[in-house]
Structure 1
Amino acid sequence: MPLAAMPPIVHDPIPFGDKRVAETRAYAVRHYGLNRARLIAPKVIVEHMTAGPTYASAFNTFAADAPDVELHELPGICSHFIIDTAGKIHQLVSLKWICRHTVGLNYTAIGIEHVGFSEAGVLDNTRMIRASLRLTEWLQAKYGISDKNVIGHNESLSSPYHEERVARLKRQTHQDWPRKFMVKYRARLK
């Protein structure tokens, strides 16, 4: 796969210091049996919706490093990238670190958030979908990730890379980017 051109990316890092690295390592041990905080040779790209109206609201949620409201554990949730409604790509976390965005896949997945409440809204927003596809295609080329491993959060349980050691979370997923929207998204990848 030839390397696609890197799209314009604004670097807006959230705090990811020693404390968060240690929390991420402890998370990886608990959930995957891996004693590392590093994202090594990612195999999956997971598309998400912020379920919020602004880039700032998503950034603040991820930067807080607070126990999440759903699973109540640390590190706080985060994503590597957020694409705002104007189509600007923001990188929050270096691709060298695991981010907590998809139960069962964080150890091998890159997370991309889209600001908004609906997948149709992203697909119909020319600037946003163009930026999303460019970012995804660049990441695919950089890491050799096939189209079938570009998934929506809702498709996480069907990924061959899904692995979860915590029994109560083995079937946990979210509703964003279900298959009906991801079929359309994947069809637009080059």
Structure 2
Amino acid sequence: MAVAMPPIVHDPIPFGARRVAETRAYAVRHYGLHRARLIAPKVVVEHMTENASFSATFNTFAPDVADVELHELPGTCAHFVIDPSGTIHQLVSLKWICRHTVGLNATAIGIEHVGFSESGVLDNIRMLRASLRLTRWLQARYGIATKNVIGHAESLSSPYRHENVTRLKTQTHGDWPRRFMVRYRADL
């Protein structure tokens, strides 16, 4: 079934040759893959920004600096950000791997939702509609099963998770736990 692409505003972060090379080096270290390209993604990971605006999110992802949690390059990023008005912003081309979910970056598309709580997204009809439209379109485009649309907190249970760095094999975050994703997946 064809699914129409939702309206997407292109707001690219800098992703030049240096960041591509860092992404390739990251993929070698973490996944044993010698590429920066996102090829045939199998997972969509839903995230919360833990800030109040698209601009704050953009300003977090645009600088290519080592992240405060894992202290490595490339800088963290996500492919898409959905703001409270329901506007979908694309930060990174779907041809590139983004660092958004340890163990899944090489096979996952990252979607950030501006805000502090999953219930804030689920209760904001414009934001939820945009998120569902984007996720459905990505599912149709790449053949991603609904069971593989996961919250960041569910990353450890994904059959596609692979991580070579020992200290990160059990690393995840708490955003979009199963109790919220059950409703989200039902809405899909």
Scaled to the shorter chain, the TM-score interval is over 0.9
- For residues 97 and 164 of structure 1, what CA distance do their matches in structure 2 show? 18
Q: What corresponds to 1:181 in structure 2?
A: 180
- For residues 123 and 81 of structure 2, what CA distance do their matches in structure 1 show? 17
- Tell me the CA shift for residue 79 of structure 1: 0.1
1:63 and 2:44 equivalent?
A: no
- Secondary structure (helix, strand or coil) at the match of 1:110 reads strand
For residues 29-82 of structure 1, the C-alpha deviation after alignment (integer angstroms, 9 at most, x for no partner) is: 000000000000000000000000110001011001110000000000000000
- For residues 17 and 44 of structure 1, what CA distance do their matches in structure 2 show? 25
- Tell me the CA shift for residue 138 of structure 1: 0.2
Q: What corresponds to 1:27 in structure 2?
A: 26
1:114 and 2:132 equivalent?
A: no
Count, aligned residues: 188
For residues 108-146 of structure 1, the C-alpha deviation after alignment (integer angstroms, 9 at most, x for no partner) is: 000000000000000000000000000000000000000
Q: Residues 12-91 of structure 1 correspond to what in structure 2 (within 5 A)? A: 12-91=11-90
Q: What corresponds to 1:5 in structure 2?
A: 4
Letter matched to residue 23 of structure 1? E
- For residues 37 and 3 of structure 1, what CA distance do their matches in structure 2 show? 28
Q: What corresponds to 1:156 in structure 2?
A: 155
State the TM-score, normalized to the length of structure 2: 1.00
Q: What corresponds to 2:144 in structure 1?
A: 145
Give ranges in structure 2 of 5+ residues lacking alignment.
none
Letter matched to residue 117 of structure 1? F
Percentage of identical aligned residues: 78
- Secondary structure (helix, strand or coil) at the match of 1:120 reads helix
- Tell me the CA shift for residue 3 of structure 1: 2.3
Letter matched to residue 48 of structure 2? M
State the TM-score, normalized to the length of structure 1: 0.99
User: Considering only aligned residues, what root-mean-square deviation do their CA atoms show, in Å?
Assistant: 0.3
- For residues 91 and 139 of structure 1, what CA distance do their matches in structure 2 show? 13
- Secondary structure (helix, strand or coil) at the match of 1:82 reads strand
Q: What corresponds to 1:133 in structure 2?
A: 132
1:96 and 2:73 equivalent?
A: no
- For residues 60 and 156 of structure 2, what CA distance do their matches in structure 1 show? 25
Give ranges in structure 1 of 5+ residues lacking alignment.
none
- For residues 87 and 65 of structure 1, what CA distance do their matches in structure 2 show? 27
- For residues 165 and 84 of structure 1, what CA distance do their matches in structure 2 show? 34
